[in-house]
Amino acid sequence: MLEFLVAPFEFGFMQRALVGGVLVAAICALVGTYVVLRGLAFVGDALAHAAFPGVVIAYLLKGNIYLGALLFALATALGIGLVSGRGRVSHDTAIGILFAGAFALGVLLMSMIRGYSVDLFSFLFGNVLGISERELWLVAFLGGVVVLTITVCYKELLLLSFDPTVAEAMGYPIRAFNYLLLALIAVTIVISIQTVGIILVVALLVTPSATAYLLTERFFRMMLLGPLLAVLAAVIGLYLSYYLNVASGAAIVLVSTCVFFLALAGRRLLSHGPSRA
* Chosen residue from 125, 156, 179, 257 binding another protein by CB under 8 A: 156
Residue 167 Cβ vs another protein, minimum distance, rounded to whole Å: 8
Report 25-44 residues binding another protein (CB under 8 A).
37
Shortest reach from residue 127's CB to another protein, in Å: 35
Residues 6+ apart with CB under 8 A from 142: 187, 190, 191
Q: Is 171 in the site for another protein (CB under 8 A)?
A: yes
Q: What angle do CA 148, 184, 134 make, to 5 degrees?
A: 75
The candidate with the shortest Cα–Cα distance to 50, out of 220, 177, 192, 199, is 199
The correct pick among 121, 137, 141, 163 for binding another protein (CB under 8 A) is 163
Cα–Cα distance list, 218 to 31, 223, 226, 232 (Å): 16, 9, 12, 21
185-214 residues in contact with another protein (CB under 8 A) are 213
Residues 6+ apart with CB under 8 A from 167: 156, 159, 160, 174, 177
275 binds another protein (CB under 8 A): no
Is 159 a residue that touches another protein (CB under 8 A)? yes
262 binds another protein (CB under 8 A): no
176 touches another protein by CB under 8 A: no
Euclidean distance between CA atoms 277 and 272, whole angstroms: 9
Q: What is the binding site for another protein (CB under 8 A)?
A: 37, 151-156, 158-159, 161-163, 165-166, 168-171, 213, 216-219, 221-222
